[in-house]
Amino acid sequence: MEKIDKIALTKISYGLYVITMSDGEKDNAMICNTVMQVSNNLYAVSINKANFSHDFIRKTGKMNINVLSEDAPFSLFQDFGFRSGRDTDKLADTNFLRSANGLPVLTRYCNAFISLQAEDYIDMESHGMFICHVTEAMELGTGASMTYSYYHANVKPKPGAQNTSAKKGYVCTICGYVYEGDELPADFICPLCKHPASDFVKLEPSAAPAAPATSGSPTQKYVCDICKAEYDPAKGDPEHGIPAGTPFDQLPEDWVCPICGQGKEYFKPAN
């Protein structure tokens, strides 16, 4: 069975970091989940080439890895992950110090920072991988480090926390991030899960709610009219407490689409 389930690819857990860098004139920062220690003093960091930060690091070879702790709020991810450094100063309202390499070090919501100097670069088509050695490192706190799994379970707003039916734009089918705008740029990269524009679907805010389904086959699949997500009774929705084998008409009244956050009334039987 040669099939790639994109949801399965998100099950590998890893850390979440704020990487800070500078081009010599402007500071910048980004959320990153692709930092890997390959030996005691050697790290590999993969950055999407479409990110403004990629060019900063390519120019200077320097970066700081700010290791986020579990007390980091969702607003931090919005500040450093939902905006581009091309048109905003991400660090304008952030308190920070500077390490020996001159780059920003966050003073809140981090338990350590590691300064890196790139010594090799591997071109991987959509991404560039920087192979770096450590030039400085310091513990800043004792709180547990933030992981991708912890972020999704405890930090990211739960589906339904915001009403996407009132929005106009596109929703990421992998993580639920909503891009608000008339047209999604072809080269857009999701700031949360780093998936491309091809994994977004258009929101239809004017869609009228369908009548709630209250009967039918226990195995009947249903499709969200907003984001086209499918509910399969055979699989259920274990991530949100719905066990496999639960028919659609037995879902709790407060159950919502795990992708776009809409209620049951926006689902209709799949063909």
Is residue 238 within 8 A of residue 211, CB to CB? The reply is: no
Q: Considering the domain boundaries, does residue 2 fall inside one?
A: no
By mean pLDDT, which of 13-27, 29-43, 144-158 is the weakest? 144-158
Question: 190 and 62 share a domain?
Answer: no
Instruction: Report if residue 245 sits inside a domain.
Output: yes
Residue with tokens 């776009």: 260
Quick one: 188 and 223 in the same domain?
yes
pLDDT tens figures, 213-259: 445 578 899 988 777 788 999 999 887 778 889 999 899 887 888 77
Domain containing 195: what range? 157-271
The pLDDT of residue 47 is: 92
The residue out of 128, 150, 172 marking a domain boundary is 150
Lowest mean pLDDT among 72-81, 105-114, 257-266: 257-266
User: Of 108, 134, 150, which one is at a domain's C-terminal end?
Assistant: 150
Query: What does the block give as tokens for 32?
Result: 């990153």
Tell me the C-alpha distance between 211 and 208, whole Å: 9
Q: What percent of the chain has pLDDT over 90?
A: 44
Q: Which residues of 119-140 are buried (b: 16+ CB within 10 A; e: fewer)?
A: eeeeeeeebbbbebeeeeeeeb
Please indicate, yes or no, if residue 125 is contained in any of the structural domains: yes
Give me the pLDDT at residue 211, please: 45
Q: Is residue 3 a part of any domain in this protein?
A: no
Residue 96 has what pLDDT?
96
Same domain, 141 and 181: no
Domain assignment present for 230: yes
- Same domain, yes or no, for 114 and 174? no
Question: Residue 17 to residues 37, 129, 178, 202: CA-CA distances in angstroms?
Answer: 13, 16, 22, 30
As for how many domains the chain has, the answer is: 2
Sign of CA dihedral 16, 17, 18, 20: negative
SS3 16: coil
Cα gap 17→68, rounded to integer Å:
5
Tokens of 67: 């290791």
Residue 1 has pLDDT above 70, yes or no: no
31 within some domain: yes
Write down which residue in 90, 125, 150 finishes a domain.
150
Statement to judge: residues 69 and 170 lie in one domain: no
User: For position 269, which CATH number holds?
Assistant: 2.20.28.10
Does a structural domain hold residue 1?
no
Shared domain for 168 and 271, answered yes or no, is yes
Is residue 124 domain-shared with residue 168, that is, in the same domain?
A: no
Give the pLDDT score at 92. Answer: 92
What CATH number does the domain containing 111 carry? 2.30.110.10
Global pTM?
0.66
Place of tokens 């589906």: 159
Whether residue 39 is contained in a domain is answered as yes
Query: What is the average per-residue pLDDT within 64-76?
Result: 95
Between 197 and 64, the higher pLDDT residue: 64
